Each structure stands twice: as C-alpha cells, then as structure tokens.
Amino acid sequence: MDKKDFILASGSPQRIALLRQVVFEPKQITPADICEDCLEHEKPLPYVRRMALEKAKHVAALFPNENVLACDTIVTIGQRILHKAKNSEEQRGYMKLLSGRAHKVISSVCLINKSGKISQRTVITKIAMKVLTAQEIEEYLQSGEWKGVCGYKIEGRLAAYVTRMVGSYSGVVGLPLNETINLLKGEGIR
C-alpha cells in the first residue's frame, strides 16, 4: 500500500483501519496529545469541531509544510456528551442512558494543508437503540469493548442493539470516510 502525503493526528486503531479500508495510508501517525476538557457551557457541536481543529493545529505545528488530518467523535444525548468512561460503573450509567433512546454521534474531520489552509467537515448520525436488559448491559461491560472509546464501539457487540441509524456508519466508528476522502482528494491526495 502506497503511503499518502498526509500525517494522521490520531492513534485510534479504528481510524487507522478505516483509512486502510479505503487504501489511504498516512505517511506518519502522530497522535495529538491535547487537553480534551469541555469549555464552560460548551455545546456538543462546537466542542467536537474545536477538538478536531485543535488536534490538527497541534500536530501541524510539529510538522510545518505537511498535510495534517485530525478527527474527533463524540456520543451525545441531548446536550450531554458521553466522554470515555473511566470505569465500568460510569459505563453502566452510559448504557442505562442509551437504553431505549435515540442519541447522536457527531464526528468532525479537519485537514490543514501544507500552506496552512484549514478545511473541516462535520457529520451527525442519529441512532436509536433498543431497550437493554440488565443482562445485556452486564455482558457489554464484561466484554471490555467500551474501554478507550467514547460511549461505545458500534462495530462490536453493541451493533446488535441498534434498531435504526441515519447518517454515517464510518463516522460512528470514528472517521466519516466520504467527507475525509473528499478533503484529502481536494488537496490532490489520491
């Protein structure tokens, strides 16, 4: 697989796998180690857009004159952001919140090109989940799939509980491929 002319500002295995799935191999992977705390009164959409932009800017500052691709993905219920659970008790609470409810997954992708031009696209996916039994929640917790991800992994066991999805499946996994490919191709990266 040819290396493409961009640096991925993420160490997410899901994002790397999605890019490889469509034959876009970054020439380098440099995760953006930045603070991901919400600003006071910050709503989900501005938050996810800011995070993708700040990650891209952080890595672009390390590698001037390079194309840098960054992304951020969050799960939201109303205006509440479900961040990465710190422990199984917090994840259990998230699962109870998601059970039988519709929620959104927002994924924002940002590309800073070699001359510093910023391009950004954001995708909102609506998901409905069945009512989860206590046993299903416990089985999901025991699987450990939720560790290190925001809310849950759609590509794992949880897929069996989704009753409806409108939007971008790859965006829910962590990188909206259509928008990402269009950004990269817009810079001549093919």
Tell me how far apart the alpha carbons of residues 17 and 19 are, in angstroms, rounded to a whole number. Answer: 5
CA dihedral angle for residue 143, residue 127, residue 77, residue 45, rounded to 10 degrees: 110
Q: What is the pLDDT of residues 17-74, one digit of tens each?
A: 999 999 999 999 999 999 999 999 999 999 999 999 999 999 999 999 999 999 999 9
85-97 per-position pLDDT tens digit: 999 999 999 999 9
Amino acid at 139: E
In this predicted model, what pLDDT tens digit does every residue of 80-125 receive, in sequence order? 999 899 999 999 999 999 999 999 999 999 999 999 999 999 999 9
Instruction: Assess whether 72 carries a catalytic annotation.
Output: yes
Side chain identity at residue 9, one-letter code: A
> Which listed residue (2, 33, 37, 72) is catalytic?
72
Other Cβ atoms less than 10 A from the Cβ of 87: the count is 9
pTM, full prediction: 0.94
Q: How many whole angstroms separate alpha carbon 180 and alpha carbon 22?
A: 11
Residues near 40 by beta carbon (within 8 Å), at least 6 away in sequence: none
